[in-house]
Structure formats: structure tokens, C-alpha cells
Amino acid sequence: MSGAMWVKQTLRPLIPDRLMARFRLAQHSRQVRTNVDVVLANSGEQRRWLGTTPDTYRVVEAPNPADVSESAREIETFGGDTERAIELLAVPDAEVGVVARVARPAIVDRRRVEPRMEPIAIAASSEAIAEVGGPPSGPEALAGLLERLRHAGRRIALEPVVDDGSVDARRKDPIALPPVVILSAVPTHDVGGGSRATQLALEFTRRGNHVTYVALFGTQESLDLGLRFIHPNLEQTRADAFDPESLLSRVDGPGLVVVEIPARGYRAPVEALQAAGWSVLYDVIDDWSDPALGGEWYDAATEEWFAQTADHVTASATDLARRMDRWGVETVVVPNAVNTDLFSGDLHGEPPSDLPDSDGPIFGYVGSLYGEWFDWDALRRVSVSFPIARLVVIGDDKAGHPDMPDNVSFLGLKAQFELPPYVQRFDVGLLPFSVSDTTHAVSPLKVYEYLASGVPVAAPPLRALDGLEGVSVNDDLVEAVRQAFDDGPVDSASAIAEHSWRERVATMANLANLDPTQETTPVKIVTRPPTHYEKGSRLVKGTPLRR
């Protein structure tokens, strides 16, 4: 059992439930990413909304009708009562005005929950509508338009029409493209948007599929970078809000469901989709039996059920494929890969402002910094052995790090699309992992990004790296760095051709007989961090009108 797991199991029973409930309320609010200003005049309703909604919600006093005729030429409206929706744009900084039937807000399971909204009318700028794929195809698509605007990070002014009995917030817009559902552990924006599940979603969307991305847990990062993944054919939702029957009512035929985490909560949707003729692919990406990865949720019997139930099984590493042998499951190895829209050997632009100056080489690491598999001692030995070098570490340092020599710089979490100018300037890409059953079962995504950037890699002798050209392995990371530095740059073009997500996703699609479709535009990625308001600033009185 890991040290962190031991502390959790030992100390949790000693913490009063009331205190844990308060912590979870605050923690859940941090996962909510939509800023909503709720327009209310009644003081009792104001108190209810403030007491039950997450801290991205504010309450503002109802504005008077505003003269928006000048901006109306740039506003598009949809639904039945558009004049009221337009008036809501008088709320400062509002980008979307929404009149909606809303379920009365309440604390649910000791959590502040966003109330369900069934839009009656929507008003938004032409620019915002175009960004999310254009206007909806009919009145039944209003809920889909609202969801697309929310996930794009657009600020909403809401006039709620409370209706406890008839709120239907389900999307009803039809899905014409071959559908893919990805049942993932974390949201698309976790780890800077660089997770395997997110990369699969981006590539399936680009190849012309309609992707529904489902996250079982919230992000574990200490900082929300505000990443938004925007495309009309990419839906993103939480597992507790995912309704397979509703999805099935919108599609023309069966599709593919990719299971990225063998959690009990995903059994029911897999059963529903498979019963409707969908193909199920269980994608094994980690040794979940490690408590540091599978935690309290992992159950071997449940993983066996997914492996046996799936029509096809893939694994990101050979060791993971061998784990499936115990259940007699044929497994295809599909390693991680590189986003070729981002990473290449071509150096563009000036160095990032926070990249330290160095008179010597730059050795760099990009990725997670938690877990017993991260070898801090190896990183320290490299820094001491190459005092003229600068070691750059990019990742969420939420747990803190041991004392390191002065030539080690921690730059924090970065969005994946921000990484190329850093990685391209590494002389060696580092993989400071200890060697264990867990790390042998890892396909390090960062290695493919290093190679595609023309950067040689220094790593321990992990079986998942066997035969990778451009990777120098040694039990002593110092010696691996020395060899990689002496070997010099690698052929980035060959690495890109051999290790692209396009090729990996094609392998998965072919297994499931998911026919190729016409490629579409890549998913747009922008940063719009949500605002989490302090308690005293969530009630806004005397709202000035936009004129």
C-alpha cells in the first residue's frame, strides 16, 4: 500500500463527517467550470441560489430592460422569448443570455449541484455561435446549443423559470455521424489536456466521428488552466449525467464505446450500448491494481468483466497485454503516440519567457510529479552530474518536491498546446522513473512528444521502451543522459510518421469495423479559466446596464 493511501485510510475515520462534508462542498465547487449570473429580484430566492449553487454562480438583481439595439445586429437569438434573452445581455460581461425552465436548486448528496436547465430562449453574439459550430438545426437543439456554449467557457446570464416537475435538460439534437463514446477517468482538460483519453477524443473527432466524452472523476490538478475543447461533434459530460438511452435516441445506428477505466460505474452504460448493437473496446492504459492508480475504486472482478465483455481489447503496453492473458483475452498493443498538430522538429518563435537561460544544455521533463514511481533521486543525480546543464521540470507540483540543486527549475503545469516551444529546446528529454511492475506497464506519452520534437530521450530500462529509436536506456539515468546527449537530435519526421495518434486511432477503429469518414476541422482549444467567487462577492446589487 502506498504511503498516501495508508494516510488516507488511517486518518479519514478520525475526521468528523460534518467537517468532511464542508471540505467536499468546497472541493466539488472547484470542479465546476461554468460562470452563471442568475438574475433574481426576490431576496428569498437569492438566498436559496447562493446557498445551494457552486461558487462559479453569482446572483444579480434583475436588470431593467436595456437598449441593445446597437449591438442587436451582432446578436443571434433562438427559441420562443428572445426579447427577454437579449435583455439579459445587459448584465456586465455576459456573453450568453438564457431564459430557461430550471429545477429548483438544492444541495444533493452534500454537494452544491448545478441545477438542470431546459432553455426556452438563447441570445448570444454571432462570434460565440460561430465558434461552437453555428446555429442549431431546430427548436429541439436548444439544449445542445446551450451545452456547447457552456463548454466553450462563455459567461451566461440566466433568468430562471423554476419548474420542479417538467424540466427536461437532455440534448435532443440528432447525431448524423458515426458515434463514439469514450468512458474516461478524468475530464478532457486534466493534465493540461494531454491524457490518452483526450488524445483519442481529438483524433476520433477529427476523423469525422461524433464523440461523447464521459468523465467519471473530476480533475486532480491544483490549477484549472481554463482549457476548452470546442467542436460541434465533441460532447463532454460527467458520468453521473450521462444517459445512454437519451444518446441512443439521437443516433441512426450503433457505434463504438471505448472504456478507458474499468470502474463499476461504467458497467450499466456499457451494457446498455452493447445491447443496442454497439461495439465495446476495453483499452487497458494502466495497472489499476496498484493502489496509487486504482485507489479505493478498483476491483479485479470488475476489470475481468470488462475484459470478458468487450468485443475487443487493446493495451498501451506489452506488460498490460500480458495481464489480460490470465483471463484468456486476446489483446492488441496500441502504444501512446504524439499529437502531430502540435509537436514537430521545426523550431518556431522566441523561447518562452519562463524558460531559464542556460550556457549549457537543457535537460527537460514534462509530466506528472506524483507517485512513488517518480525517481527524485535520479533527477538530483543528473543535476549534480551535469552542473553546467539546466534541468527544466514542467508539471503540477501540487505535492511539493524535495530540495533540488539550483540548476533545477520547476515551471508548473502547462497546457499541452503550450509545450512544443519548451520541448523543442531540450537537448535531452528525461524520464526519471523508478523501475517497477507499475512503470514497466506504462507507455510514457511524453517520450513520443520528445521524439517528435527531435529530442533524444534518456530513460530507465522499461520494457515499454524496448526498440524505440532515439531512446537511450540505462539503470543509471546519468549514463542514459550522457549517451542521449552524445547521440544528439533524432529524426523527428520518422518519429512522427511512426507514432501518430492518427495511426493509433485507425488501428482501434479497424478492430471495431468503424468505417472511416470524411475528416473535419481539428478541435479548437482555447483557455478561458472559470472565476470562483469569494463568498462575499456572490451577490451583486445595483447592476449597471449595458447601453
133-173 residue pLDDT tens:
998 777 678 999 999 999 999 999 999 998 777 899 999 99
542, containing H or E segment: none
Greater model confidence, 332 or 1: 332
What is the H or E stretch that residue 315 is in? strand 312-315
Going 14 to 16 to 19 to 23, the CA torsion angle's sign is: positive
DSSP letters for 80-123: S-HHHHHHGGGSTT--EEEEEEEPPP--BTTB--PPPEEEEEEE
The pLDDT assigned to 347 comes to: 75
pLDDT of residue 70: 44
On whether the CB atoms of residues 381 and 404 are closer than 8 A, the answer is no
**Crossing angle of helices 501-511 and 196-206, rounded to 10°:** 80
Mean pLDDT of 338-364: 91
Are 530 and 36 a contacting pair, CB within 8 Å?
no
pLDDT value at residue 98: 97
Averaged pLDDT, 173-187 = 96
Give the rounded percent of residues in the chain with a pLDDT score beyond 70. Answer: 91
Cα pseudo-dihedral 99, 103, 104, 108, rounded to 10 = -130
Identify the band that residue 267 occupies on the pLDDT scale cut at 50, 70 and 90. Answer: very high
SS3 assignment, position 401: coil
Among 41-55, 62-76, 223-237, 284-298, whose mean pLDDT is lowest? Answer: 62-76
Mean confidence (pLDDT) of the chain: 90
Segment 44-61 mean pLDDT = 94
What does DSSP assign to residue 352? P
Per the confidence metrics, is the pTM higher than 0.85?
yes
Cα–Cα distance measured from residue 266 to residue 310, given in angstroms and rounded to the nearest whole number: 12
Confidence of residue 18 (pLDDT cuts 50, 70, 90): very low
Q: Which pLDDT band, with edges at 50, 70 and 90, does 61 fall under?
A: confident
Q: What is the pLDDT at residue 410?
A: 97
Do 420 and 353 meet the contact criterion of CB atoms below 8 Å apart? Answer: no
**From the CB of residue 346, how many other CB atoms can be counted at a distance below 10 Å?**
10
Rounded CA-CA distance 208/205 in Å is 5
**Cell numbers 460534518: residue:** 18
pLDDT at 526: 97
Mean pLDDT of 73-79: 87
pLDDT band at 28 (very low <50, low <70, confident <90, very high): low
Instruction: Decide: 283 and 260 in contact? Cβ < 8 Å.
Output: yes
Distance CA 427, CA 450 (A): 10
